[in-house]
Amino acid sequence: MTAPDPDGLLAEQLLRLTRRVHRIQKRHLEHRDLGITPAQSRLLRTLAHYGSPPRMADLAERLEVVPRAVTTLVDGLEAAGKVRRVPDPANRRVIRIELTDDGRAALRELRGARRSAAEEILAPLTDEQRALLGGLLDTLIDGPGPDTGEGRRTA
């Protein structure tokens, strides 16, 4: 008989939560009837973080996907009027991607859908549990602090 694997259980719980979050966000997105896929939503959110229109290669790197995947996403968003391709002012061979006014409006709707999904997911938690979860998630996202050392658990 093997001993229980608490880290394996945590990993499974994280994967199940990730899938649940994705499903709920997708449902909230579909209810907004924006005609935007979760992948397109991610591209729009990423695009909004740039100070000036990025190149396709920049988006691919930031999204950690192959450039062809970005081309497909941009094609769909461009056809829907959410983004447009614009020439680089310094190098006419380079194409940059910028949000349109419709794209910015879609982003506002997307933020609302994400907020609604988060409210649904977090509904069973008390304020104290939410604060604790937020702290734990920060630790997981940021990694170990300078005093904890790599791979060492702290109480």
Report H helices in 3-153: 6-31, 38-48, 56-63, 67-79, 101-122, 127-142
pLDDT tens string 15-51: 999 999 889 988 888 888 888 888 899 999 999 999 9
Residue 8: pLDDT over 90: no
With a CB cutoff of 8 Å and minimum separation 6, the contacts of 103 are 44, 47, 77, 81, 82, 83
User: How confident is the prediction for the chain on average, in pLDDT?
Assistant: 88
pLDDT at 25: 86
